[in-house]
Structure 1
Amino acid sequence: MNREMMKSLNLKYTKKREVILKILEQSNTPMTAEDIFTLTSKELHMSFSTVYRSLSALTEKNVIMKELRQDGKTYFQINSHNHKHHIICTVCGEVTPIDQCPLHELENKLTQQTGYQITGHNLEFCGICPKCSKQAHNK
Structure 2
Amino acid sequence: MANERYNLFAERLHQHGYRLTPARQAVITTLLATGGHLSADTLAEAVHETAPQVGRMTVYRTLDLLSQVGLVRPVYQGTGAAHYVLIDSGHHHHLVCAGCDTVIEFDDCVVAEIERVVAERFQFEVWGHLVEFYGRCANCRDAIHYP
Using the size of structure 1 for normalisation, the TM-score is 0.75
CA contact (8 A) 1:21 1:78 kept: no
1: distance between equivalents of 2:108 and 2:74?
19
In terms of mean alpha carbon deviation, does 125-134 or 22-31 score higher? 125-134
Alpha-carbon spacing, 1:65–1:23, altered in 2? closer, same or farther (3 Å): same
CA contact (8 A) 2:13 2:69 kept: no
Match runs of 1:1-139 below 5 Å: 1=6, 5=11, 8-9=14-15, 10-43=17-50, 44-62=52-70, 64-71=71-78, 72-134=80-142, 136=143
Secondary structure of residue in 2 paired with 1:119: coil
Q: Which amino acid aligns with 1:38?
A: E
Secondary structure of residue in 1 paired with 2:91: coil
Higher helix proportion (structure 1 or 2): 2
Alpha-carbon spacing, 1:129–1:38, altered in 2? closer, same or farther (3 Å): farther
Secondary structure of residue in 1 paired with 2:88: coil
Secondary structure of residue in 1 paired with 2:104: strand
2: distance between equivalents of 1:54 and 1:26?
16
CA contact (8 A) 2:77 2:96 kept: no
Aligned length: 136
Structure 1 counterpart of 2:3 = none
Secondary structure of residue in 2 paired with 1:80: coil
RMSD: 2.9
In terms of mean alpha carbon deviation, does 84-93 or 50-59 score higher? 84-93
1: distance between equivalents of 2:107 and 2:49?
32
> What is the percentage of aligned positions where both structures have the same residue?
23
CA contact (8 A) 2:36 2:86 kept: no
Please list every run of 5 or more consecutive structure 2 residues that lacks an aligned counterpart in the other structure: 1-5
Kindly state the Cα deviation for residue 137 of structure 1 after the two structures are TM-superposed: 5.4
C-alpha offsets along residues 74-97 of structure 1, whole Å, 9 cap, x if unaligned? 332334333110112334433211
C-alpha offsets along residues 44-98 of structure 1, whole Å, 9 cap, x if unaligned? 1433211111112222233x22133242533323343331101123344332112
